[in-house]
Amino acid sequence: MPRRSPAVLLVTPLLVALACSSGDEGRGQTAGNSGGVTAVTSITGASVGESGTTLEPTGGASSGGNEGGGASTGAAASTGGVDSSGGASSSGAVSGDTTTGPVMTTGSDEVGSSTGECAEITEKAMNKKQPADILFVIDNSGSMQVEAASVKTNMNQFSAKIVASGIDVHVVLISELSGDTGMCIDAPLGAGNCPVKDTKLPTFLHIDDGVGSTNALAKLLEHHKTWKDSMRPDAAKHIVIVSDDDSDMGANAFDAAFKALDPSYADYKLHAIVGAKDAGDVLWCIQDPVCCAFTASAGKVYLDLINKTDGLWGDLCKQDFKPVFDLLSTEVVKNAGLACEWAIPAPMGEDVIDYNKVNVDFNDGMGNVTPIGKVDGPDSCGGVLDGWYYDDPVKPTKILVCPQTCAKIQGAANATMAIKFGCETIIAQ
pLDDT at 343: 78
- What's the whole-number mean pLDDT along residues 170-190? 93
Determine the Cα–Cα distance for residues 385 and 372; give it in Å rounded to an integer. 9
pLDDT of 351 reads 64
Determine what percent of the chain is predicted with pLDDT higher than 70: 67
Residue limits of CATH 3.40.50 in the chain: 132-334
User: In this predicted structure, which of 203-212, 297-306, 362-371 has the lowest mean pLDDT?
Assistant: 362-371
In this predicted model, what pLDDT tens digit does every residue of 166-178 receive, in sequence order? Answer: 888 999 999 999 9
Task: Specify the range with the lowest mean pLDDT, choosing from 77-86, 246-255, 333-342, 418-427.
Answer: 77-86
Which tens digits make up the pLDDT trace of 1-22? Answer: 444 444 444 444 433 333 333 3
CA distance 316 to 247: 15
What is the 3-state secondary structure of 372-389? ECECCCHHHHHHCCCCEE
Give the contacts of 400 (CB within 8 A, at least 6 positions apart): 233, 234, 340, 341, 378, 388, 389, 390, 391
* Least confidently predicted of 100-104, 114-118, 239-243, 252-256: 100-104
Centre a 10 Å sphere on the Cβ of residue 106 and count the other Cβ atoms it contains.
12
Lowest mean pLDDT segment, chosen from 192-201, 331-340, 347-356, 396-405? 347-356
Number of CB atoms found within 10 A of residue 246's CB: 21
What's the confidence (pLDDT) of residue 85? Answer: 37
DSSP codes of every residue in 73-123: ------SSS-----EE-SSSEEPPPP-B----EETTEE----BTTEEEEEE
> DSSP label at 10?
E
Query: How many CB atoms neighbour CB 394 within 10 A?
Result: 6
**Lowest pLDDT segment from 42-56, 123-137, 232-246, 370-384:** 42-56
Q: Which residues of 203-231 are buried (b: 16+ CB within 10 A; e: fewer)?
A: bbbbbeebbebbbbbbbbeebeeebeebb
Q: What is the pLDDT of residue 346?
A: 59
Beta-carbon-side half-sphere exposure of residue 102 (alpha carbons within 13 Å): 14
Taking CA atoms, 123 is separated from 12, 105, 344, 423, in Å, by 12, 8, 10, 21
| Whether pLDDT at 95 is above 70 | no
Contacts of 282 (CB under 8 A, 6+ apart): none
Give the angle subtended at the CA of 379 by the CAs of 375 and 380, to the nearest 5°: 35
297-354 per-position pLDDT tens digit:
999 999 999 999 999 999 888 877 888 888 888 888 877 766 687 877 655 444 678 8
pLDDT digits (tens, 9 = 90+) for 42-92: 222 333 333 333 333 333 333 333 333 443 333 333 333 433 334 433 333
The distance in angstroms from the start CA to the end CA of the chain is 36
Higher pLDDT, 425 or 108: 425
The pLDDT value given to residue 369: 85
- Residue 115 is predicted with a pLDDT of 31
Q: What is the pLDDT of residue 335?
A: 72
Q: How far is CA 92 from the centre of its chain?
A: 50
Instruction: Give me the percent of the chain exceeding a pLDDT of 90.
Output: 32
CATH number of the structural domain 132-334: 3.40.50
Top-confidence residue, 35 or 324: 324
User: pTM to 2 decimals?
Assistant: 0.58
CB atoms within 10 A of CB 421: 21
Q: What's the rounded mean pLDDT across residues 215-221?
A: 98
Residues forming beta bridges with residue 313, ordered by sequence position: 272
